[in-house]
Structure 1
Amino acid sequence: MPSRGVAAPPVAADYQRSLALRGDWSHLTRDVPFPARWSDDGKTLYYRKTVQEGFAFVAMDRATLRKAPAFDAKRIAAALGRATGERVTGRDLPFDSFTIRGNPRHLEFMIHDEDWSCGLQDDACGPVQTGLRPRGFDAVRDLRVPARNTPVPSPDGTWEAFVRADNVVVRAKAGGAETRLSLDGTASDFYDPESIVWSPDSRHLAVLRVRPGFARYVTRVEAAPRDGGQPRIHTQLYPKPGDIIDSEQPVLFDVASGRGRDIRTDDFADAYPLRNGDVGWSRDGKFLMFPFVQRGYQRAGFISVEVETGRAHLAADERARTFVDAGRLYEHVVGNEGRELIWVSERDGWRHLYLFDMTTGHIERQITKGPWVVREVLRVDDRKREIWFGASGMTPGEDPYFVHYYRIGFDGSHLTALTPETANHHAAISPDGALLADTYSRVDLASRSMLRSAEDGHVVGSVETGDDTGLRATGFRPPEVFHAKGRDGTTDIWGLVVRPRDYDPARKYPVVENIYAGPHDSFVPKDFWPFGYHSGGDKVIGMQALADLGFIVVQIDGMGTANRSRAFHDVAWKNLADSGFPDRILWHRAMAARDPSYDITRVGIYGGSAGGQSALNALLFHPEFYKAAVAFAGCYDNRMDKIDWNEQWLGWPVDESYVRASGVENAGRLQGRLLMIVGEQDANVDPSSTFQVASALIRANKNFELLVVPGGGHATGRSEGPIGYAERREFGFFVRTLQDGREPDWNRLSETDRTNRHEE
């Protein structure tokens, strides 16, 4: 048997090939469909698919299955280019999913987490302006911006309500004198005009009275504006853990009598602010209803208010010893009559659907049950008393993260599987509830899309069948899926492995882990599309680019992440320093025992945002295993980061758990080699988090590397900034620290040299 050798360090041409891999490979598949959406009338299915040199946007007629371009992509590209000042082509529009609605018709989509709209007749493109007052992470209203105070008409068209001088006013819609319904509103305790909601019978209205929270602002200096000139100052409303948040008091007004009544309930005390649209009415106008999450995320529920008496009671109550996952709450008022409520709960240790009696707050029955997880609810049919939902972990022997879709009765009967293929499914149900548009794939199976009956799942028609022949012909090798036992010795931990295209099992390869351990989700890819369904972030293709420089690159979902049991998830509670490392290290060791080429004496790790915090923590808390780390835009001290994400997992008030996870407090523990990369204008994670770690490392006399990208945002190194620059710095760092190699002298390479090397 040949001796195990070590591959030669990469040269400039190898880096260039890796950095060009996304561009070289991204258009080699054909007819790979992305998850679809239905038109509002349910007659048309809209989706994106891969074609030669880019993407096409398709509209398929439901009745005939005929396909046509959904819109003129070249025109939209030109309009988007004018609106953004960026180069946009019709074959590479910067969004994955879209909707067409309205008259005149307009195209709706998202760019960089911002809603956009383009008119299909006038080609006018721009961000969607809601006119609503911004809020800092949904916790504090930005009082620098006036609230939208457009009069809100009553359903019968008789009245309209608005706020004048911080108080609620009504007047006849046809004109006439104004009637003040409140007199106690002040600038420091005001009625919010954006929260006004009329009862269906137009007799009552509800509104929130608000005591403003603490307006904390983060200040950033833009040292090198792209258009030249002097540095600029940017301020951002940025509430942090422990800050005083907006306090809201629901108030109910009787329009005829002018009487107002505060909705008093201890259950709503210390609640996080409600979102626009959270407050609603029963169809008969007898009940006012709204959800709540108490601060600290250990209690949530749904409140029903009897309008005639003002009595408020819990229609559903969710409590947790650790946390209630607010991002995964779901409620549906059956028939909108205020009598029954479908609610998601983890009270039996798994995320399931329950039917509550809203008048008593008692559970009528548990609808779904078993050692598996409800992932989403597609549709509730109140008349048929049936639910369509997605779930994972129900099929024995299958990857427990694969989502399948099901139909079930309110009483838990007639559970029907609708998407049987062993794959990860994305489904959209037609507005009439008759059809499912099902797109499914695996990392080793190109995406397929079809129409199914929502009754029993039988295939009605084929939409698209993806073809990855061209991609595989260039050397694409699907990631290897691997699972091993976690820290408890019984739970399977799932991950995937990406090897170099010239992988030689007779060699020893250093290992690099791509980590994101945020408790809000699971992250190991389950879908085929190696470039990701959404813009930004790390994809399989990025892992392949690094692997081709002589590494084995892996990604793992350890304990503390979501979409498994409650116990699996609870590991994260007040324990963000854990990041699933005990499970990850066992997974690595199991992989090494199986594969001699997997060298766990040379393990590196990289990640961004919460993954950046985890990458640093690998060197602080597990230096015996991890030797090098690249941390992008990390929230290294959770006291410096945004309020909502951090209080969700570490609780409130701020306590010792924030200190235990802090890279600042633990900087003196650093061992191994560290590179931190941060964008100067990061609006997601306060850049001060990076600089405070750097300061602490210097005080501790620790060596490290720091790259600050002027003007860069949160995604610096992935989808922003100089193309490939931060990523090349990451690649070179791992070559130096794990391979003992030397990077090319990039400063001495001319553009001609680089081009020639790439063409080699």
Structure 2
Amino acid sequence: MILRRSSRVLAILLLCASAAGQAAPDEAAFQRSIGLRRAWQDLTRDVAWPAHWTPDGRHFSYRKTVAGGFAFETVDAETLAKSAAFDTARLAATLGEARHEAVDALHLPFAEFDYADGGKAITFGLGETRWRCGIVVYRCEAIVDNSRPRGFGVVRDLSVPADNAPTVSPDRTWTAFVQGDNLVVRKAGDAAVVPLSVDGTAGDFYDPETLRWSPDSRHIMIYRVRPGYQRRVLRVESSPRDQVQPKLRSQLYPKPGDAIDQERPVLFDVATRRQTVIDDALFPNPYQLSAPRWRKDGRSVAFDYVRRGFGRVRIVAVDAESGVAHAAVTEDAKTFVFADLRYQHEVGGRGDEIIWASERDGWNHLYLVDGRTGKVKRRITSGNWVVRDVIAVDDVKREIVFSASGMNAGEDPYFRHVYRIGFDGRRLTALTPAKADHDVRFSPDGSLYVDTYSRVDLPTVSELHRSSDGALVATITKGDDGALRAAGFRPPEVFVAKGRDGRTDIWGVVVRPRDYDPRKRYPVIENIYAGPHDSFVPKQYWPFGYHSGGDKVIGMQAQADLGFIVVQIDGTGTANRSKAFQDVAWKNLADSGFPDRIAWHRALAATDPSYDISRVGIYGASAGGQSTLNALLFHGDFYKVGVAYAGCYDNRMDKISWNEQWLGWPVDASYAAASGVDHAARLTGKLLMIVGEQDSNVDPASTMQVADALIRAGKDFDLLVVPGGEHSVGRSTGPIDYVARRQFGFFVRNLAGEPVPDANAVR
């Protein structure tokens, strides 16, 4: 149900309103809330994840909920017969043996996988590592990446050798590698090494991991690298489990403004040994160059260029014979080009035509670009809606399949739907009619697709469709949450209100206590994540955490049950709407969409007398931790209590990649403007900061610098440092129950004004 401001609702609720108070939560209430996820997580049936096709396109597989946990199921795309995707018990035993830990067959630690080895194995990610497990011969092993690590993609870790395995030319005539910082080749069957360069040094070396042969084996492009600053973040592991004394940890961690690796493309003609350093006029001051990619005919090679500061991106194409470069596509922005939103496809692999995603008209759309001139040949999509992802391109039929949101009037503008369109912008065809958020996976030949869709109030439905006309072939699964609802679960309410400008719709969700009484008054807690790189209010069903970035609905319910209304909102400055909507965050991270959020709160309070807008708290992690602190620093008249996890409280202390994307380069006053350290003296209200001692995502010193500034300003606050804890402490790993109790108790005591059960009492 979508709630909007309504005089009728207001009248009804006013009749029911009273000053009735809340009973203070006792120890049993705390334990119920802390254990809610465990109590409810196995109560749904046939809630399915997106499908993955076998390489031959004859079958597809997915995870779904079953009694006691999860199962992986495979469907024959022709007969529709279902069977187990693999033996989960054997895989659990094999994976557990490889990881030296117990693995539960009904709770395998991954939700999606890809097929490998012709369907004889699967691969999946666990943390930072990818794994391969055989499902014919059951054996699991970590996939070893021999490449040299790079700090956030821009500074090579020189303490680790590069992968210098000889690279064989396509015609098998030559091998190429780096010897003594220079590029050399060796003819097949010959022991003699032929140097192609002699100017490489330890401070200006040829990187073997960037070496790329042309398809005709005549040329090589490779990058010559001047190393950037090797900044190291040091962390003390105070309480290791395997020894008494602490350990010192070191991490390569470039920060905003640091000198980064400078890469210069160099082209070699193998037969003549001619060396051509590519003129960098088209790619000055690069933040990042992609690896070279040769066109199919070998006549040119291209790479992507992101200018430092993110104001320009470009495809640079280089003629293989002359070494002359030209701009195949250029994208400029007055604010930033959203790096994660970039998409390109070279039609036919030749580079004459390029499908390119651009926000140049204020919305992310697709264009057909002449790769020789860089000029737009024609627009493919247009309108006040956004292309979210390109799923497939058929160069022969000259058709594109893509997902988009915001196209359907009267619908949640974040719902993704899938469409097909011609390169000429004609024949736009909708493939997913259901009013929901859709995740579509096509068979390898594109003839079929599995559409998995849901809403926060609609368990997933998974359907097999024919691509040619979108016709339904069969319903594969239909989620059932009857037992979950019987246990007391209620989906979040969707609420929409106008933002700071009085025109823009701001969307959020509301979670109420299971014993909600509209006659009572409830303090409010906002779950915030306002990173500009995505939107975070859940749109899909899975209430235990299907969407990255935001807290789980069940986590919100657990807090609501202690006597709160808990909400989550996407304000301006977040993604997946217009360019102007997201641009609010540019050089303005302290904003976090707060004027929109506060307007949303006030609109809901105007319709709901139980919504106590005089008592609003807030919590969040990472960028959400920064926003939580800033709520108390810059909007202390509205937000009274905050719990901030692992915050990047000063963007000069955080990773280079995320912060230069939104605040630009060079480091300027906008970094200080959002700093919780510089503005710590403005703190009002109650603050609890929680940080993992071993946070490898955000330098934990950022939290301690806020603490130092608060102490110097004479401010009271609470601080919890979790020994050994990582960035996700209290959310997906670590002592979850302990930090959850500390968060819940902090809100009960300081926002609800109620006593908290004594955890140290003898029982």
TM-score normalised by L of structure 2: 0.97
Letter in 1 for 2:465: R
1:757 counterpart residue number: none
Letter in 2 for 1:29: T
1:435 paired with 2:457, answer no
Displacement after TM superposition at 1:176 (Å): 3.6
Asked whether the 8 Å contact 2:495–2:509 carries over to 1, the reply is yes
1: CA distance between counterparts of 2:548 and 2:246? 30
Displacement after TM superposition at 1:266 (Å): 2.0
1:237 paired with 2:245, answer no
Choose the corresponding residue for 1:347, options 352, 360, 369.
Answer: 360
1:41 paired with 2:65, answer no
Displacement after TM superposition at 1:272 (Å): 2.1
1:222 counterpart residue number: 237
Letter in 1 for 2:333: A
1:510 counterpart residue number: 523
2:203 counterpart residue number: 188
1:293 counterpart residue number: 306
1:663 paired with 2:676, answer yes
Choose the corresponding residue for 2:619, options 606, 625, 629.
Answer: 606
1:251 counterpart residue number: 266
Q: 1:126 to 1:694 in 2, by over 3 A?
A: farther
Q: What pairs up with 1:655-694 in 2 under 5 angstroms? A: 655-694=668-707
Asked whether the 8 Å contact 1:407–1:455 carries over to 2, the reply is no
1:748 counterpart residue number: 761
Q: Which moved more, 1:168-177 or 1:700-709?
A: 168-177
Asked whether the 8 Å contact 1:417–1:456 carries over to 2, the reply is no
1:758 counterpart residue number: none
Displacement after TM superposition at 1:438 (Å): 0.7
Choose the corresponding residue for 1:158, options 167, 173, 180.
Answer: 173
1:323 paired with 2:323, answer no
Deviations 1:279-336 (A, max 9, x none): 2111110110111111100100111111111111111100011010001101100001
Displacement after TM superposition at 1:35 (Å): 1.2
Q: Which moved more, 1:329-338 or 1:108-117?
A: 108-117
Q: What is the SS of the residue equivalent to 1:662?
A: coil
1:50 counterpart residue number: 65
2:107 counterpart residue number: 92
Q: 1:300 to 1:378 in 2, by over 3 A?
A: same
Name stretches of at least 5 consecutive residues in structure 1 with no aligned partner: 751-760
Q: What pairs up with 1:364-383 in 2 under 5 angstroms? A: 364-383=377-396
Letter in 1 for 2:132: S
Letter in 2 for 1:254: D
Asked whether the 8 Å contact 1:537–1:718 carries over to 2, the reply is no
1:167 counterpart residue number: 182
1:635 counterpart residue number: 648
Displacement after TM superposition at 1:122 (Å): 4.9
Asked whether the 8 Å contact 1:536–1:719 carries over to 2, the reply is no
1: CA distance between counterparts of 2:688 and 2:45? 38
2: CA distance between counterparts of 1:126 and 1:736? 48
1: CA distance between counterparts of 2:117 and 2:437? 32
Choose the corresponding residue for 2:373, options 350, 360, 377.
Answer: 360
Q: What pairs up with 1:561-576 in 2 under 5 angstroms? A: 561-576=574-589
Asked whether the 8 Å contact 1:96–1:533 carries over to 2, the reply is no
Choose the corresponding residue for 2:502, options 486, 489, 492.
Answer: 489
Asked whether the 8 Å contact 1:104–1:119 carries over to 2, the reply is no
Q: Which moved more, 1:329-338 or 1:261-270?
A: 261-270
Q: What is the SS of the residue equivalent to 2:736?
A: coil
Q: Which moved more, 1:613-622 or 1:172-181?
A: 172-181
2: CA distance between counterparts of 1:544 and 1:345? 39
Choose the corresponding residue for 1:202, options 205, 217, 232.
Answer: 217
1: CA distance between counterparts of 2:550 and 2:242? 27
Asked whether the 8 Å contact 1:153–1:173 carries over to 2, the reply is no
Asked whether the 8 Å contact 2:537–2:550 carries over to 1, the reply is no
Letter in 2 for 1:729: R
Deviations 1:456-482 (A, max 9, x none): 321122211111111111110000001
1:280 paired with 2:276, answer no
Deviations 1:510-557 (A, max 9, x none): 000000000000000000110122688621010000101000000000
Asked whether the 8 Å contact 1:224–1:230 carries over to 2, the reply is yes
Q: What pairs up with 1:10-29 in 2 under 5 angstroms? A: 10-29=25-44
Q: What is the SS of the residue equivalent to 1:248?
A: strand
Choose the corresponding residue for 1:141, options 156, 160, 163.
Answer: 156
2: CA distance between counterparts of 1:447 and 1:703? 46
1:754 counterpart residue number: none
2: CA distance between counterparts of 1:115 and 1:535? 19
1:105 counterpart residue number: 120
Q: What pairs up with 1:666-745 in 2 under 5 angstroms? A: 666-745=679-758
1:59 paired with 2:74, answer yes
1:421 paired with 2:434, answer yes
2: CA distance between counterparts of 1:718 and 1:342? 39
Displacement after TM superposition at 1:14 (Å): 0.4
Asked whether the 8 Å contact 1:95–1:110 carries over to 2, the reply is yes
1:211 counterpart residue number: 226
Asked whether the 8 Å contact 2:646–2:690 carries over to 1, the reply is yes
Query: Alpha carbon RMSD of aligned pairs, Å?
Result: 1.2
Letter in 1 for 2:24: P
Displacement after TM superposition at 1:127 (Å): 2.7
Q: What is the SS of the residue equivalent to 1:63?
A: coil
Displacement after TM superposition at 1:220 (Å): 0.3
Name stretches of at least 5 consecutive residues in structure 2 with no aligned partner: 1-14
Displacement after TM superposition at 1:103 (Å): 5.5
2: CA distance between counterparts of 1:58 and 1:729? 40
Asked whether the 8 Å contact 1:667–1:696 carries over to 2, the reply is yes
Q: What is the SS of the residue equivalent to 1:236?
A: strand
Displacement after TM superposition at 1:594 (Å): 0.8
1:618 counterpart residue number: 631
Letter in 1 for 2:45: R
Deviations 1:416-451 (A, max 9, x none): 000000000011111111112110000000100011
1: CA distance between counterparts of 2:216 and 2:149? 31
1: CA distance between counterparts of 2:534 and 2:186? 48
Q: Which moved more, 1:299-308 or 1:568-577?
A: 299-308
Greater than 4 Å deviation, 4+ residue runs: 534-537
2:603 counterpart residue number: 590
Q: Which moved more, 1:122-131 or 1:734-743?
A: 122-131
2: CA distance between counterparts of 1:721 and 1:55? 23
Q: 1:26 to 1:535 in 2, by over 3 A?
A: farther
